[in-house]
Structure formats: structure tokens, C-alpha cells
């Protein structure tokens, strides 16, 4: 199976966790032996990081790299070298992808959503159904919240022609983690291309503002109320339904608070804004931050929000046929994902300014991809 090793520069563009996630997932899927060098050279502390969020050195990504790499290795009985804290180079030799039960544990508040991002494309091409038991932070900084994954990512990514089940067993927050999510999915023969270019008009806005652990319920109500007030200033004709929630004691580990707000459109597009509480930040500010993020995502005229952009690239690259998505400004994460999907999978992407009349005054782009039509050799 092993051909010549593909060399990947881990220090370009976004530099960091995302290069590792995209390149090892593609290596696993395509059976390409891989060497990633200069890992995180783009960040102030090179090497595989561990632990601290936003420490003085501004290392922004946590230990989910390691658990993500180990998970990909285990998914395909591969060989992984150099995967330790502080390492600046890894080599990975994939074998055949296998289904079944796989467990990954960041042992901290490292994000379960990032573990899901790296493993999901791989198990779609396994020989039998998979169950991924992912442990860590479900609502953690610097990564999508599990509610985003369940409420936005899931319905959109399923348009590629597969379904998955996401069961949130336990929520976990910074710094302790302790959350657990179980993802179940069956393999597919091939992915269908998607077309997400018609945004339609916003028909519904809803969400949840949560507190867990020792935080008083009033915090959830205050976040929700502040978010509603902020949205009303700009969107007056829609009922905004943000539920305040006290997470049940047996379903949340540790203390946390946060909010996610979703806008749904007439054509089924979904946009979100979210924010997490931090010590010393008042509840209103958390609510307003999420509301402003949602409103910004609605202004650019795209059909996907800025967080969904980069998560769709690997699926577009693998699909059979031409996929198109309309986005706002293309993020560095998305540019990074495109770069490696082109280098490793040989998919062809074009990114150009949207030429629709209604987008003339907006910063909207069309990302188009000729997918490679990956087929599952096991089915």
C-alpha cells in the first residue's frame, strides 16, 4: 500500500492543528504515507502543544492534536512516529480503515468536535459501521461547540449523502473537560456533491443559553435576554426564541456557561453565532458577542457561515462531481484546507467573487470544487 511519502509543511498558512487534522485524515483516506514537518512553526511556540489555552505564549490549540493523531492511527492500524508533546515532525503510514468502536480521550478540555472533524471523513470509507467515543471538552474555547456540530454542521454535511447520530452523554468545559459524545455512522459507497449557493431569507432565529455546575440560572436568562435585544435592533420582524437552560447535574461535568444562536433560512441554510462565558465577563457581554457574531455572518450574503466553510472542504474534495458553496470572506482555515486537499487529494478548487447582482455590495465568494469521486473499496 505504501508509496513514496508525501511531504507536508506544517508551518505555512494557519500553521498548527488544522494542517495536522486535514493532512492525516487525507493520508488515512488515500493510503498516502505522510511526513509533516515544521509543525506549528506559524505559531509562537513550535511543536505539538499540550494543555494551556491562551497561555502567555499564545499557544491557542490544546492537546486534541495528539488524541486526534492517535485516533486516526487506530482507525486504520497505521504507524505514527514523532507524535509527542513538543514534537515538530510526525510521520504517518496508514493501512486499511476499519469500522467498529474507537475511543479518543483528550484527558482535558481539548475539543471533542475537533476529534470528530478529523475522524468522520475516514470512517465514512470504512468497511462497516463505526462508533466513535470522544472524550474531552464539548463546549470549549477555540473550537466549535458541540451544539454547533449538532445543530448546524450535522444537517448541512448530511447533504453529501450520509447520516450520523451524535449522542451527547456528558458535557465538559474548560479547564477540566470530562465530556463525552458518542457518534455513530455507517460507511458510504461515495459522497454526493453539494450546492449551497442560494441563501434565501431568514425565517427563524432560535438558540440556547446554558449554565452548568455552580453558575446561577440567572446567568442563562441574562445571556439570552441581552442576545435577543441585540438581534432586535437589526432584525425586527422575527420572533427570536433563545431558551435559557440549566444543564442537568448528571449530564455536565464542571462549571460553564455559554450561548449559541442559529438563524435558519427559507432554503434551509443555517448560520450561527456563539460565545462562552469566562471568569469575570458579565452575562450580557457573552450574549451580545454571540448575537453580533450571528449578525455578521448574516451580512456577508454567503450561504454558509465562517465556521462551516473550512469543515466542508474535505467532503467537497472527496465527493463525486462539482460542489459549490457561497461564503463570506474566505478564512485562513478554509484556504489552508483547500491547499492540502489540492496537494494530497488532487481535487481542483476555484475561489472567486460572487457575480450575483444582490452580492455586488457584499463580500461574497463562490468556492467551487471538482471532487475526486473517492469510492469505498470495501462496499
> Which residues are tagged catalytic?
333
Q: Which residue has the cell 444543564?
A: 247
The set of cell numbers assigned to 184 is 455513530
The three-state DSSP-derived secondary structure of the chain is CCCCCEEEECCCCCCCHHHHHHHHHHHHHHCCCEEEECCCCCCCCCCCCCCCCCCCCCCCCCCHHHHHHHHHHHHCCCEEECCCCCCCCEEEECCCCCCEEEEEECCCCCEHHHHHHHHHHHHCCCCCCEEEEEEEECECCCCCCHHHHHHHHHHHHHHHCCCEEEEEEEEEECCCECEEEEEEECCCCCCCCCEECCCCCEEEEEEEEEEECCCCHHHHHHHHHHHHHHHHHHCCCCCEEEEEEECCHHHEECCEEEEEEEEEECCCCEEEEEEECCCCCCHHHHHHHHHHHHHHHHHCCCCCCHHHHHHHHHHHHHCCCEEEEEECCCCHHHHHHHHHHHHHHCCEEEEEECCCHHHCCCCCEEEEEECCCCCCCCC
Residue with cell 435558519: 264
Name the one residue in this structure whose C-alpha cell is 449554565.
211
Retrieve residue 187's grid coordinates: 460507511
d(CA 247, CA 43): 35
Q: For the chain, how far is it from start to end, CA to CA, in angstroms? A: 19
Residue labelled with grid coordinates 491547499 = 339
Taking the C-alpha atoms of 91, 92, 93 and 95 in order, what is their torsion angle to the nearest 10 degrees? Answer: 170
Task: Count the Cβ atoms, other than its own, within 10 Å of residue 41.
Answer: 15
Amino acid at each position: 500500500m505504501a508509496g513514496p511519502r508525501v511531504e507536508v509543511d506544517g508551518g505555512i498558512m494557519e500553521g498548527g492543528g488544522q494542517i495536522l487534522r486535514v493532512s492525516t485524515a487525507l493520508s488515512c483516506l488515500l493510503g498516502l504515507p505522510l511526513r509533516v514537518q515544521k509543525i506549528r512553526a506559524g505559531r509562537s511556540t513550535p511543536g505539538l502543544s499540550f494543555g494551556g489555552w491562551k497561555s502567555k505564549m499564545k499557544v491557542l490549540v490544546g492537546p486534541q492534536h495528539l488524541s486526534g493523531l492517535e485516533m486516526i492511527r487506530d482507525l486504520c492500524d497505521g504507524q505514527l512516529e514523532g507524535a509527542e508533546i513538543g514534537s515538530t515532525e510526525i510521520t504517518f503510514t496508514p493501512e486499511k480503515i476499519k469500522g467498529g468502536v474507537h475511543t479518543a480521550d483528550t484527558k482535558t478540555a481539548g475539543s471533542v468536535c475537533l476529534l470528530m472533524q478529523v475522524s468522520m471523513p475516514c470512517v465514512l470509507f470504512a468497511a462497516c459501521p463505526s462508533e466513535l467515543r470522544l472524550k474531552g471538552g464539548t463546549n470549549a474555547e477555540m473550537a466549535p461547540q458541540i451544539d454547533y456540530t449538532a445543530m448546524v454542521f450535522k444537517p448541512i454535511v448530511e447533504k453529501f449523502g450520509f447520516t450520523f447520530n451524535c449522542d451527547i452523554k456528558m458535557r465538559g468545559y474548560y479547564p477540566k473537560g470530562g465530556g463525552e459524545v458518542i457518534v455513530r455512522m455507517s460507511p458510504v459507497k461515495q459522497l454526493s456533491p453539494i450546492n449551497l449557493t442560494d441563501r434565501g431569507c431568514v425565517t427563524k432565529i432560535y438558540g440556547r443559553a446554558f449554565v452548568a455546575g455552580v453558575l446561577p440560572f440567572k446567568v442563562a436568562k441574562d445571556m439570552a435576554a441581552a442576545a435577543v435585544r441585540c438581534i432586535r435592533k437589526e432584525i425586527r420582524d422575527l420572533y427570536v426564541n433563545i431558551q435559557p437552560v440549566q444543564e442537568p447535574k448528571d449530564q455536565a461535568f464542571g462549571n460553564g456557561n455559554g450561548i449559541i444562536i442559529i438563524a435558519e433560512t427559507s432554503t434551509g441554510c443555517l448560520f450561527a453565532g456563539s460565545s462562552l462565558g469566562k471568569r469575570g465577563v458579565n452575562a450580557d457581554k457573552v450574549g451580545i458577542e454571540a448575537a453580533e457574531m450571528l449578525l455578521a455572518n448574516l451580512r456577508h450574503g454567503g450561504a454558509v457561515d465562517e465556521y462551516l466553510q473550512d469543515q466542508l472542504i474535505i467532503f467537497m474534495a472527496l465527493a463525486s462531481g462539482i460542489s459549490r458553496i457561497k461564503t463570506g470572506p474566505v478564512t485562513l482555515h478554509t484556504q489552508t484546507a483547500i491547499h492540502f486537499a489540492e496537494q494530497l487529494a488532487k481535487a481542483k478548487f476555484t475561489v472567486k467573487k460572487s457575480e450575483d447582482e444582490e452580492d455586488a455590495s457584499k463580500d461574497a465568494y463562490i468556492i467551487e470544487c471538482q471532487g475526486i469521486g473517492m469510492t469505498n473499496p470495501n462496499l
